[in-house]
Amino acid sequence: MIDFTLTKEQTELRERAREFAQKYMLPYAHYYDKTGEFPYPILQKCWEAGLMNLAIPKEYGGPGLGSLEQCLVVEEMAAGCAGMTTSIYVNSLGAEPILIAGNSEQKEKYLRPLTESLNFISFACSEPGMGSDVAGIQTRVKKEGSHYVLNGSKFWITNAPQADTFTVFASLDPSMRHKALCAFIVDADTQGLKTGRPVEKMGHRASTTSSVILRDVKIPEENMLGTEGEGFKIAMKTFAMTRPAIAAFATGLARASMEFARDYTTKREVFGEKLNNFEVIQFKLADMYLKIEAARLMYLKAAWTADFVGDSTIPASAAKAFATDVAMEVASEAVQIHGGYGYIDQYPVEKLFRDAKLYQIYEGTSEVQRLILARYVLSGYEPAMGKIPRWYNNEPPDF
């Protein structure tokens, strides 16, 4: 039976995240967007409220929650501030390779500290020369005795300057593409690892993004995740787990855009009437609502698949592609409804519009999601109609 009812615990968790977003995120979103400062005080509060690192199992000190619960939380938070939520959620992205492929010692050593105090872990996959083509990683890794040595550059790494730990992807031989990729846990204070200055961004300005330079970074072999050559699989499994949450982020941002637009229509008068009296505007709000509802259903299905079925690659890509387009469309319509005021920073929709764009880019662009879906439709999908009959059939049935 299909049941959309949340459990008592899920409802309470969502309420807690909503209250947190309203009390600690939304009122400070403008400040951090303007200054580009890292929102330490907010993240500290978030950690204290038990709203970070939700997937860490109970045996390592975390709450051991599923993808569904994480999605419910990030929808609320992203409605408060997308940038802060990126800073908060990147701990889940950074930790996911350890959850997927770590042994118990690695989990004890690197997951438990995240639950004991505010610590940061970042995911270092992308490079200046590649983001979509994960198999094209150029960062090299070489085995030397009981160590691995890393050399290369990573780029666009969220929270890199704050990170205590990185999960890093590197290649034994770039000509072997995905077959040569390996994943590692790297302590940020390892000799030879440096982070660059945070780059200036269009949106999500409450999260930091910078390069990570690896020069003869020597790490013990026990810091490898899985085995040599398993890195690509670990990265793909990571995305299958985290993309439903990006869809939930996008849904939260779209919901906030609709709510700000709805509010504005009750106040602004044009041609002697409130905006919300015009059917064109009412229909814009209706379309926003429709799209948000559909985006939410898609992330819920993707998260449910991750939690209860297994491989969530396809529903996660579908949810991410759909919900991130919805965020962009709804934020754009929210700006439109605000007219000139939508284009200046006097109202929040200007920020939401800038923030929405990133969802279509990080954790696999919208085009990459469509590549995954197209490959599935053409070679994995089982047609429900089986064999397609000949269309030009002029014979009546003989039964």
Ligand X SMILES: Cc1cc2nc3c(=O)[nH]c(=O)nc-3n(C[C@H](O)[C@H](O)[C@H](O)COP(=O)(O)OP(=O)(O)OC[C@H]3O[C@@H](n4cnc5c(N)ncnc54)[C@H](O)[C@@H]3O)c2cc1C
Structure tokens at 242: 């985290």
Quick check: 166 binds ligand X (CB under 6 A)?
no
Quick check: 365 binds ligand X (CB under 6 A)?
yes
Residues numbered 327 to 356 that lie near ligand X (CB under 6 A) are none
For ligand X, the closer CB: 296 or 320: 320
Which residue is listed with tokens 């009412």?
282
Residue of the chain from 60, 110, 148, 156 that contacts ligand X (CB under 6 A): 156
Residues numbered 51 to 110 that lie near ligand X (CB under 6 A) are 90
Residue of the chain from 55, 72, 99, 125 that contacts ligand X (CB under 6 A): 125
Which residue is listed with tokens 């319509």?
333
CA 195 to CA 155: how far, in whole Å? 10
Structure tokens at 179: 């077959």
Please give the C-alpha separations between residue 78 and each of 249, 328, 395, in angstroms, as whole numbers: 5, 14, 58
CA 300 to CA 319: how far, in whole Å? 9
Select from 118-126, 277-285, 314-322, 390-398 the region that touches ligand X (CB under 6 A): 118-126
The catalytic residues are 363
Residue 81, SS3?
coil
Closest CA to 111 of 21, 225, 233, 229: 225
Query: 332-338 — which CB contacts under 8 Å span 24+ positions?
Result: 332/356, 333/257, 333/261, 333/284, 333/287, 333/288, 334/257, 334/258, 334/260, 334/261, 334/288, 336/284, 337/261, 337/264, 337/265, 337/275, 337/281, 337/284, 338/261, 338/264
Quick check: 36 binds ligand X (CB under 6 A)?
no
For ligand X, the closer CB: 63 or 131: 131
CA 322 to CA 337: how far, in whole Å? 22
Select from 143-151, 155-163, 182-190, 268-276 the region that touches ligand X (CB under 6 A): 155-163
Quick check: 260 binds ligand X (CB under 6 A)?
no
Binding marks (x or -) toward ligand X, 196..215, rule CB under 6 A? Answer: -----x--x----x------
Phi, psi values for residue 182, rounded to 5°:
-130, 155
Residue of the chain from 157, 217, 314, 321 that contacts ligand X (CB under 6 A): 157
Please give the C-alpha separations between residue 339 and each of 264, 283, 344, 345, 388, in angstroms, as whole numbers: 10, 16, 10, 12, 50
In the chain the first and final C-alpha atoms are separated, in Å, by 36
Kindly state the smallest distance separating residue 331's Cβ from ligand X, in Å: 16
Quick check: 358 binds ligand X (CB under 6 A)?
yes
For ligand X, the closer CB: 204 or 284: 204
Quick check: 130 binds ligand X (CB under 6 A)?
yes
Quick check: 236 binds ligand X (CB under 6 A)?
no
For ligand X, the closer CB: 212 or 349: 212
Quick check: 294 binds ligand X (CB under 6 A)?
no
Residue of the chain from 36, 61, 113, 131 that contacts ligand X (CB under 6 A): 131
Residue numbers at the binding site for ligand X (CB under 6 A): 90, 122-126, 130-132, 156-158, 201, 204, 209, 358, 361-365, 367-368, 371
